[in-house]
Amino acid sequence: MRSKTRTLWLSVIAFLVLVTVHATIDDESEMQQARARAKPWLMRTLTVGGVNLHVSPASIITLLLFLLQIVYSFVGQRQWCEASHILIKDTSPKTKKAMDAMVKDIGSNARKFGDIAAKYSQCPSKVKNGDLGRFYQRDMAPPFDKVCFDSNSKTGITLGPIQTQFGYHLIYIRQRQL
């Protein structure tokens, strides 16, 4: 009796597997037929120098993006600047006069600039000695940006004071790419 039950169950399982496989085969053939019907709309064959190239919209978009990346890498070099600054929010004439004196005192001494920034700057960058890191053109306030990306502004010296909507800035440009 057990062997008959076992045989019956094995037969049922075999039947279910067969039906599933058959249904899968039918689905695959339907899918292949659907792909074959869609293929003329998506795929085009171009012959270049005797070689057949199969082209789809996705491959054209990928090629265009690749070409744009190449062009951008040669032509589109972004201008950047690495600088530190000291910000004093008060814009009174007295503050400007004090900052003029700071410029003369600091000169081209980067360490002194950082020490003064850590002590007096009113910008959160004071914890990094006024270091702003690398930034790109149009990232900063326009007057600040103008000084940093002006080819006449020298690197390695203290520049300013420059007034923006945030206050007066002293700027120390370490390096840049124009």
Integer Cα distance of 44 and 41 in angstroms: 8
- 85 & 114 share domain: yes
Which residue, among 81, 82, 80, 85, has the nearest Cα to 159 in the 3D structure? Answer: 85
Evaluate whether residue 158 is within a structural domain. yes
- 172 & 143 share domain: yes
Residue 156: the pLDDT is 96
Task: Read off the pLDDT of residues 33-84 as tens digits, 9 standing for 90 and up.
Answer: 766 666 556 677 778 788 877 777 777 787 777 777 777 766 666 889 999 9
Residue 129's CB: how many other CB atoms inside 10 A? 19
- 145 & 92 share domain: yes
- 92 & 145 share domain: yes
- 64 & 151 share domain: no
DSSP string, 48-116: ETTEEEEE-HHHHHHHHHHHHHHHHHHH-PPPEEEEEEEEE---SHHHHHHHHHHHHHHTT-HHHHHHH
Evaluate whether residue 28 is within a structural domain. no
- 86 & 160 share domain: yes
Evaluate whether residue 135 is within a structural domain. yes
Evaluate whether residue 2 is within a structural domain. no
- 55 & 91 share domain: no
Q: How confident is the model at residue 155 (pLDDT cuts 50, 70, 90)?
A: very high
Last residue of a domain, one of 20, 50, 77: 77
Query: Are 172 and 110 a contacting pair, CB within 8 Å?
Result: yes
Last residue of a domain, one of 25, 49, 77: 77
Q: Which domain holds residue 143?
A: 80-177
